[in-house]
């Protein structure tokens, strides 16, 4: 897929205020610092479409970007901040679960995982919740350039093995690097293939 246009549309703290269109949308979510903003900028060929938050955990907004006038890329807040209180965590969970439960045009979520890290409970729990609620998602392993090819392969194999302890099959996954652009086309082509089969409800 060629990116012809990418524009910021709106930020929301409430799913009911998200754009009232039937265009397909794709959500990007993951732990803070996983490389989400960098990946969004890399996918859209923009330097600062998605901005890294200077105050982690404070800005909990759903950001809609309109791509090629035909689909939305949705930047969801990063999770897993060590310093937020229990109450804040609960509010955040509700905010995210509301988005996924209510947003019917959300066709696939991309759960970002740092390819250097071992499976973390917070990601595992989140993916389990997605599975239980039948919300389609893929995994994107980020920062692939930070590992040598052999180590990268080994890390992903280990991740898969751990996933397969609870999942019947490994969810579809992509390996990317925002630094080199590796894997970017695969993600965009995957989105295109879903868009091609998507007919908006009347
Ligand atoms: P976010 O908090 O998930 O939005 O993460 P950012 O996109 O701000 O990235 C966090 C840090 O990781 C920044 O210092 C980025 O420069 C770095 N980073 C992100 N993606 C990559 C990547 O693909 N390769 C490398 N080498 N560094 C990356």
* Per-residue pLDDT tens digits for 141-159: 999 999 999 999 999 999 9
Q: Tell me, in angstroms, the distance from the centre of ligand 1 to residue 5's CA.
A: 23
Better-scored residue on pLDDT, 57 or 88: 88
- Tell me if 59 is assigned to some domain: yes
35 lines ligand 1 (CB under 6 A): yes
Tell me the residue range of the domain where 48 lies.
6-196
- Tell me if 201 is assigned to some domain: no
pLDDT in tens, 101-145: 999 999 999 999 999 999 999 999 999 999 999 999 999 999 999
pLDDT in tens, 43-71: 999 988 987 555 454 567 899 999 999 99
Q: Tell me, in angstroms, the distance from the centre of ligand 1 to residue 117's CA.
A: 14
> What's the rounded Cα separation, in Å, for the pair 4 and 71?
12
pLDDT in tens, 159-183: 999 999 999 999 999 999 999 999 9
- Tell me if 136 is assigned to some domain: yes
- What is each CA distance from 150 to 48, 145, 155, 157, 176, in whole angstroms? 32, 12, 9, 11, 15
Q: What is the pLDDT of residue 94?
A: 84
Beta bridge partners of 29: 111
Q: Tell me, in angstroms, the distance from the centre of ligand 1 to residue 202's CA.
A: 40
Least Cα distance to 171 among 126, 129, 140 occurs for 140
Confidence of residue 83 (pLDDT cuts 50, 70, 90): low
Point out the ligand 1 atom lying closest to the alpha carbon of residue 144.
23
Global pTM reads: 0.94
**Whether the Cβ atoms of residue 130 and residue 111 lie closer than 8 Å to each other:** yes
Q: Measuring from atom 12 of ligand 1, which residue has the nearest CA?
A: 35
Neighbours of 53 (CB within 10 A): 15
- Tell me if 202 is assigned to some domain: no
Pairing of the two strands 62-67 and 6-12? antiparallel
CATH number of 36's domain: 3.40.50.300
> What's the rounded Cα separation, in Å, for the pair 202 and 200?
6
Point out the ligand 1 atom lying closest to the alpha carbon of residue 56.
2
Number of independent structural domains in the chain: 1
59 lines ligand 1 (CB under 6 A): no
């Amino acid at each position: 897929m060629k990116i012809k246009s990418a524009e910021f549309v709106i930020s929301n703290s409430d799913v009911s205020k998200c754009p009232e269109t039937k265009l397909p949308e794709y959500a990007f979510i993951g732990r803070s610092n996983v490389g989400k903003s960098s990946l969004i900028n890399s996918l859209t060929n923009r330097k600062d479409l998605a901005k890294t938050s200077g105050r982690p955990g404070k800005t909990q907004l759903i950001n809609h970007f309109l791509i090629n006038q035909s689909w939305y890329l949705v930047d969801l807040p990063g999770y897993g901040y060590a310093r937020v209180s229990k109450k804040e965590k609960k509010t955040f969970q509700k905010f995210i679960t509301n988005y996924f439960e209510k947003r019917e045009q959300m066709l696939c979520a991309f759960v970002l995982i740092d390819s250097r890290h071992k499976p973390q409970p917070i990601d595992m729990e989140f993916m389990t919740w997605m599975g239980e609620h039948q919300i389609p998602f893929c995994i994107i392993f980020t920062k692939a350039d930070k590992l040598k090819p052999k180590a990268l392969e080994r890390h992903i194999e280990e991740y898969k093995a751990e996933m397969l302890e609870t999942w019947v099959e490994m969810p579809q996954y992509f390996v990317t690097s925002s630094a080199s652009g590796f894997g970017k086309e695969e993600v965009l082509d995957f989105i295109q293939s879903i868009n091609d089969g998507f007919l908006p409800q009347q």
